[in-house]
Structure 1
Amino acid sequence: MTSARPATDAELHDDAPGAVAKDAAVRRETAAEIGAEGHEISLQSVTIGKPRAELYAFFRDFTNLPHFMENIVRIDVRDATHSHWVVAAPAGRTVEWDSVITDETPGERFTYTSTGDADIANSGRIEFRDAPGGRGTVVSATLTYDPPGGKVGKLIALLFQKEPSIQSRRDLRRLKQLMETGEIATAARNRAAADADDMKG
């Protein structure tokens, strides 16, 4: 079976909306919109050559997420809006939290947040919009999180390549590969492409 071609850096940021710009004011505004002021924020986008409705339906079914989010151990879906997440962390540990969908426009976007005593408080928004020229769909992921131990926790996670903004970029790359080709590139090729991309960003 032929390995999928890794997404390029241009494809990962192509047609990215204004919220993806690394401007501090925009980041603060985005965090405020989803109720996460003061948290770290990651903004990533990718253009995928599939219809918006198909991508939304796939992503919104959380049982599909472990297929392309490599650090997810499991997601237990409780009901239409509540789920429990178990995620791999540095040094062989796992972190867990309950999550709830707080706002949703079917086919376009949904917003979520962790609840209760989460190991890592987090929230985010996933958006889907038609790409120009009939080239598919721009999928944008906004992730805010409160790193364990503050800045020290973020640095430790970065050393283990588990820092959420890096992982979000890689997960979107894997989603693109899966939806466009039906498979994800081999670990060696995927890691090489990811490392090259991370050096740029």
Structure 2
Amino acid sequence: MADQQTDDAPLTASKRSEAVDEATEALIEPKGDALVGRAVTINRPRSELYAYWRDFSNLATVMENVERIDILDERRSHWVVKAPGGRTVEWTAAITEEQEGRMIAWASEEGAEVPNSGRVDFRDAGARGTVVTATILYDPPAGTIGKLIAKLFQREPGIQARRDLRRFKQLMETGEIATGARNRAELEKEQN
């Protein structure tokens, strides 16, 4: 069996039954019932990826459902995120633990519309770059039904974590995020 130090998959993807418990325990302040874990290997140095992620104002560029992140102070930020049905949900998150260049953990403060906590780990992958692992624990609004609705509208954190990490990888490796949308110049060129 692969040792966790060499396994790129998040604990939540493990076939070991105790892995979910380990992943939940790894969260500094577990808030929520639904656990999501995703990982991606990015061909960039760990310190560079950590620095970009740690500046939370950058995250709205890679997280497609995030409308905005207001930085409140060095450890707290206010998040406004798109939800199903054209509405938004908001919460204030506080960093609960941080290891420079290695890990950032957070938990939502009291009154969050979607209570959540989690951590993002940055681990060297040798010549391949860095493995970035996101582990998120959250309470879906309206419980299981709310989770199903969120999946239907592609707003469920498990779906979003996978997409957002892929967008982060694209931006860090190429300097841009690929999109299928046509820009104005392409549209004008086609019309001429």
- What range describes the TM-score normalised by the shorter chain of this pair? 0.7 to 0.9
CA separation of 1:142 and 1:71: change in aligned 2, threshold 3 A = same
Give the corresponding residue for 1:98: 92
Q: Which has the larger radius of gyration?
A: 2
- Alignment length (residue pairs): 175
Listed one character per residue, the Cα deviations across residues 160-201 of structure 1 (whole Å, up to 9, x for unaligned) are 11110010000000000001001111136xxxxxxxxxxxxx
Q: CA–CA distance in 2 between the matches of 1:85 and 1:27? A: 26
Check conservation: 1:28, 1:37, Cα contact below 8 A. Answer: no
Q: Which amino acid aligns with 2:178?
A: A
Match of 2:18?
A: 25
Counterpart amino acid of 1:166?
I
Aligned-pair CA distance for 1:15: 5.0
What 5-or-longer segments of structure 2 have no aligned partner? Answer: 1-5, 182-192
Flag the 1:28–1:110 CA change in 2: closer, same or farther, 3 A: same
Q: In structure 2, which of residues 126, 149, 162 is the aligned counterpart of residue 156 of structure 1?
A: 149
Aligned to 2:165, the other structure's residue is in SS state helix
Could you tell me which residue of structure 2 aligns to residue 75 of structure 1?
A: 69
Offset from partner CA, 1:142-174 (integer Å, 9 cap, x none): 011001111111011111111100100000000
What CA deviation, in whole Å up to 9, does each residue of 1:4-48 have, x standing for no partner? Answer: xxxxxxxxxx95145142444211221133132761011100000
Whether contact under 8 Å (1:15, 1:131) holds in the other structure is no
Residue 98 and residue 37 in structure 1: after superposition, are their counterparts in 2 closer, same or farther (change >3 A)?
Answer: closer
Letter in 2 for 1:19: L
Show the counterpart of 2:131: 138
Task: Give the equivalent residue in structure 2 for 1:169.
Answer: 162
8 Å contact kept, 2:10–2:133: no
Does the CA contact (< 8 Å) of 2:31 and 2:139 recur in 1? no
Larger proportion of helix:
1
Which residue of 43, 50, 57 maps to 1:49?
43
Matches within 5 A, 1:120-135: 120-132=114-126, 134-135=127-128
SS in 2 for 1:53: helix
Q: Measure, in 2, the Cα distance between the counterparts of 1:61 and 1:118.
A: 21
Residues 124, 144 of structure 1: 8 Å contact kept: yes
Query: Percent sequence identity over matched residues?
Result: 54
Q: Do 2:32 and 2:116's aligned partners in 1 also have CA atoms closer than 8 Å? A: no
CA gap 1:187/1:15 in 2 versus in 1, 3 angstroms: farther
Q: TM-score, normalised by structure 2?
A: 0.86
RMSD of the TM alignment (CA)? 1.9
